[in-house]
Structure 1
Amino acid sequence: MSHYDIAIVGAGIVGATLAAELAPHASVLMLESEDQPGYHSTGRSAAFWSETYGGPAIQPLTSASTAAFAAGGFLQPLGSISIGRAEDEAAIDAFMATFADTDVVLERVHPATLIPGLRDDWVLGVWEPSCAYIDVGGLHGAALGTAKRAGAVLATGAGLQAAERRDGRWRLSTAAGAFTADVLVNAAGAWADPVAALAGAGPLRIQPYRRTVVQMRTDPVAPETLPHVAGINHDFYFKPEAGGRLWLSPSDETPVDPHDCAPEELDVAIAIDRFEQVVDWRVAAVERRWAGLRSFAPDRLPVYGFDADMPGFFWAAGQGGFGIQTAPAAARMAAVMLLGRGEMPAGVDPMRYRPDRFLT
C-alpha cells in the first residue's frame, strides 16, 4: 500500500494547481474518479478571466493570479462590458462602487460604442479592459505536467470509496486500489460534501448548480472585436469565439445533486430569447450546447483550510464559477496552509476562506 504525505481528491484545476505547488516539497497523490482529469467543471468552463467576477472578496485571488497566467501565456485580450437599461442605473452605480477601493479599472461607457447591433434600450455600460480569454486546457495541462515532473502521482479511475483516519494517517479505498496519506485534501468540486461524508467530516453545505452554455453562429457574424458582454443583473452573458462563433449563457443557477449534467432545452431557449432582446442579430445556427456544475458554499466564497473537527482533513472547495481564474493564487495560498511555510500571495487574506467560519 503506497503512502503519501498528501492525497488530493480531484484532479481538476484546483487539485492540479495545488499538486503543482505541493509536489516539490511533499509526496503527493491525486485521486481522480474519471478516466480523464478535468472532465466536469474544468473542461466545461466558459474560459474567461475577469477581476470583477465573483465580487470583491474573490478579486484578490483573481488579481494575485495574474502573474502566473501571464508567465504561462494563458491569457489573451478580450475586455468586458456590463450593460443595463435606463432603469438599471442603481445597479450600475452599485457595481462601480463595489470595486471603488480596489485596483480594478472600470469606466462608464455607452455600450453601443462597443456592441454593433445593440438595441436602443441598452444605454448603460461599464467597461472592464482587463478581462481576458483563458487557455483553460493549457493551464490545466501545465499544472498536471509540473506536478508530475516534481514527483506527484496521478491515479485516474480512482473514485474515493472509503476513508478512515487511524493512528494519525488516512487509509483510503478507491476504485484503483488502496493508499495511505497523512493529509487528505478535498478538491472534489461538486462532490465536496459527499467526499467529506466518506471521511467522517461534517458537510459545509457545498451546493452544486447547473449552468448552461450555447455555441452558435449569428447573422451578422459576431465580430472578433466584440468584448465579453454581460447583463448587469446577471441574467446573461456572451462572448466571441474562434471562427465567428459566439458562446452564450443565460447565467442560470439551478440547484442539482452532483452528477454528469446536461443542458435543459428550456435553458437554451431562455438564453437565445435574452440574447435576441439585446442585439438585432439573427441566431443562424446552434452548433453545440453543454452544461457544467458550479459549486458554492452558503456565503458564495470558496473554502480553504483544515476542517475544524476532523484532523488531517483539508477543504479546497466551493470555488463557484471562478475556480479557474483564481487557481494559481488559491493553490499557493492552500499550499502555504498545508505545508506551514512559504509566502502568501500578495493581498490575499486566507482567514476569509477558512471552513470554521460556518461554526456558530
Structure 2
Amino acid sequence: MTAAAPSATDVLIVGAGIAGASLAAALAPWRRVMLVEAEDTPGYHATGRSAAFWHESYGGAGVQPLTSASFEALDQPHADFAERGFLTPRSALTLGRAADAAAVDAFAAEFRFKGVAVERISGDAVAALVPGLRPQWCEAAYESACRDIDVARLHAAYLRAAKRAGAQLVTRASMRRARRVAAGWVIEVGGATIHADLLVNAAGAWADRVAAASGIAPVGIQPCRRTMVQLRLGVPTPAALPLVIDIGGDFYFKGESEGRIWLTPHDETPVDPHDVVPEDIDVATAIDRLQSVVDWPVAAVERKWAGLRSFAPDRLPVFGSDPHEARFIWCAGQGGFGIQTAPAIAGLLAAQLGAPEPRGAIGRIDPSPFAVSRFA
C-alpha cells in the first residue's frame, strides 16, 4: 500500500474510480472516510478510459433523471470545488435509416415526454450536420444540449475535494476479505486490518467479487469490454462533429480534432474483471460499421483501447444498503453512464449515509428504482 491505513474509520469505500471518488467527496465533510484502490492509480479500468459525454438520453429513460439532475453540478460547480465547469458543447444525433423512422419517432417522443430537448429531423437537415453521410442514413433525433465531459479533471476534483475534507486514499490496496462484527466490519485490505462502521462497494467490475468476499450475495453485476478507436481520416471532418449514435446501438462516433474521430462498435462483450485490451476483430468491426454510415476514407488507426463497463441485470445503477445487511452499501452497475450521473448518485447515496439531503434537481429524484432490494 502507498500509505499507512488507519486502523478505524466510519466509512470504508472499496474502489476510487468516479463512483467511489464522488461519494467520498460528498460524504467526507460529515463522516470519516477512507478510499481503498487495488490499482496504482484510481480510475484505471473504466473512469480513465472513458470517452465520456453528458447526453441526457444515453443509458435509457430509467437513467435520464440522474443525468439531467447532474448537469448543473458538472456545468457550474461551486467555486471551492473547481474554478470552471467540466462541460464543453458537442450536440448529439441518434441516427437511423429510412426503415428506422418509427423507432426514431418513438425515441424522440419518449424523451420529449420526460422533458428532454429533442428535435426530430430528417433528410437534408441530418446530412447538413454530418458531412459525407450516406443518403440512406436520413432519420435522426437531435439533442443540442449534449456536452463533452473533462473526465480526468472531474475525477481529480472529486479526489481533491475528498482529501481536503479529511478522506484518506490508499492505493495498491486490494480488499481481501470483510467480516461482519457487532460494531460494523473488520476488513482485510492489503496487509492491514481496518475496522469500519459501513462498507461501501464501489468496485466497478469487481463489485460482485467484493460482495462475495464480504459474505454478501452478489446481485449480478456483469463487466463488459468496450472498445474505442481513434482514427485519422482522409477528409477534413470538423472537431465539433456531433456525437452520432446508432438508433440500433451498433456504433457511436464523435469528433476528436479536425480530421480525427473517436469511434466504438458499442460492444458489450461479457468478460471476467481484468485489465482488458482491444481485440482486432472489434476494431475492424467498428471501422466497417463507420464506412457503412459515412463516405470517409480512413488514413490510420492512431490509437485503440478498451475499458470495462459494468451493468446490473436491468441495466440501471445500483446504490444503497443491501437488503440483508444494512451496513453493506452498494454503489455499482453504472454501465457507460457513471460519469454523467456521478453528482446525482453521490449526492443521493451520501444523504443515506449521513450527509445532508441534496438540494435542487438531485434532491427531487426518487432513489427507490435504484435500490438493491429490487433484486431481492
TM-score by structure 2 length?
Answer: 0.93
Aligned position for 1:287 = 302
Q: Is the CA contact (8 Å cut-off) linking 2:21 and 2:158 kept in structure 1?
A: yes
Q: Is the CA contact (8 Å cut-off) linking 2:234 and 2:259 kept in structure 1?
A: no
- 1:7 deviates by 0.3
Aligned position for 2:320 = 305
- 1:119 aligned counterpart, secondary structure: coil
Structure 2 residue 374 is matched with structure 1 residue 357? yes
Structure 2 residue 166 is matched with structure 1 residue 154? no
**CA distance in 2: counterparts of 1:178 and 1:217, whole angstroms:** 50
- 1:341 deviates by 4.4
- Given the alignment, which residue of 110, 113, 118 partners 1:98? 110
Task: Map residues 230-245 of structure 1 onto 2, 5 A cutoff.
Answer: 230-242=245-257, 244-245=259-260
Q: What runs of 5+ residues in structure 2 fail to find an aligned partner?
A: 1-5, 78-84
- Given the alignment, which residue of 48, 60, 64 partners 1:59? 64
Q: Is the CA contact (8 Å cut-off) linking 1:200 and 1:310 kept in structure 2?
A: no
- Given the alignment, which residue of 126, 144, 153 partners 2:141? 126
Q: Is the CA contact (8 Å cut-off) linking 1:82 and 1:232 kept in structure 2?
A: yes
- 1:330 aligned counterpart, secondary structure: helix
- Given the alignment, which residue of 31, 44, 49 partners 1:39? 44
Q: Percent identity?
A: 55
CA spacing shift, 1:43–1:25, aligned 2, 3 Å: same
Structure 2 residue 348 is matched with structure 1 residue 333? yes
**CA distance in 1: counterparts of 2:355 and 2:160, whole angstroms:** 24
Amino acid at match of 1:231: D
**1:99-157 alpha-carbon deviations (Å, 9 max, x no partner):** 13222100012310100011111111110111110000010000000000000000000
- Superposition RMSD on alpha carbons, in Å? 1.2
**CA distance in 2: counterparts of 1:176 and 1:71, whole angstroms:** 41
Count of aligned residue pairs for this structure pair: 359
Structure 2 residue 181 is matched with structure 1 residue 169? no
- Given the alignment, which residue of 29, 41, 53 partners 1:24? 29
**CA distance in 1: counterparts of 2:208 and 2:226, whole angstroms:** 20
CA spacing shift, 1:2–1:242, aligned 2, 3 Å: farther
Structure 2 residue 95 is matched with structure 1 residue 80? no
- 1:166 deviates by 1.0
Aligned position for 1:204 = 219
**1:14-38 alpha-carbon deviations (Å, 9 max, x no partner):** 1000000000000000010001101
**CA distance in 2: counterparts of 1:341 and 1:200, whole angstroms:** 30
Q: Is the CA contact (8 Å cut-off) linking 1:60 and 1:347 kept in structure 2?
A: no
Q: Is the CA contact (8 Å cut-off) linking 1:304 and 1:315 kept in structure 2?
A: yes
- 1:201 aligned counterpart, secondary structure: coil
- 2:88 aligned counterpart, secondary structure: strand
Q: Is the CA contact (8 Å cut-off) linking 2:239 and 2:260 kept in structure 1?
A: no
**1:247-287 alpha-carbon deviations (Å, 9 max, x no partner):** 00001111111111111110100000000011111010001
**CA distance in 1: counterparts of 2:287 and 2:54, whole angstroms:** 23
- Given the alignment, which residue of 267, 272, 275 partners 1:257? 272
**1:218-271 alpha-carbon deviations (Å, 9 max, x no partner):** 010321231111111110000011354210000111111111111111010000
